[in-house]
Amino acid sequence: MTGAIGARRWAIAEGYIPGQSTGPAPQFTSHEAACILNAGPADAHVTITIFFSDRDPVGPYHVTVPARRTLHLRFNDLDNPEPVPCDTDYASLIESNVPIVVQHSRLDSRQAENALLTTVAYPVGG
């Protein structure tokens, strides 16, 4: 059995929850997710802060990922302190008391012609 892996602080700069969907819910509902792996022996208490382009950050949102579990967290489902607005550029900062691994994904079913790619740029230094 492995111990905790990952890092305690993660950033996803490319946040966007599409406001419309095509196809049956919930599989094809447009959504954005942070997939969080806690491989360690202790529960992870995770705090999320949402940043915007034109107003102050909102948060903290609290989520717990139990020990040795994964959580696919849909940003659409956050609502305390307030829902994350759809169709709005945002970013998220994800902090945890224990190391976790975070992967970002999005499903955008607004129209057929809509291929998407996203990657964190390569961090050179500084």
Partner 1 sequence: MTHGASGRTTWAIPGGHIPLASTGHEPTFVSCDKLCVLNTSATDAQLALTIYYSDRDAVGPYPLSVAARRVRHLRLNDLIEPEAMPLEVPYACVVLSSVPVVVQFSRRDSGQAATAITGGIAFPAAE
Contact set with partner 1 (CB under 8 A): 9, 11-16, 49, 51-54, 56-57, 59-60, 89-91, 93, 110-126
In three-state secondary structure terms, 45 is strand
Nearer to partner 1, 1 or 125 (CB): 125
The residue (of 11 and 42) whose beta carbon lies closer to partner 1 is: 11
What's the distance, CA 82 to chain centroid? 16
Using a 10 angstrom Cβ sphere, with 0-12 exposed, 13-18 middle and 19 or more buried, the burial of residue 56 is exposed
Yes or no: say if 67 and 39 are a contact pair by the CB < 8 Å rule. Answer: no
Nearest distance, CB of residue 41 and partner 1, angstroms:
27
Query: Smallest distance, Å, CB 123 to partner 1?
Result: 4
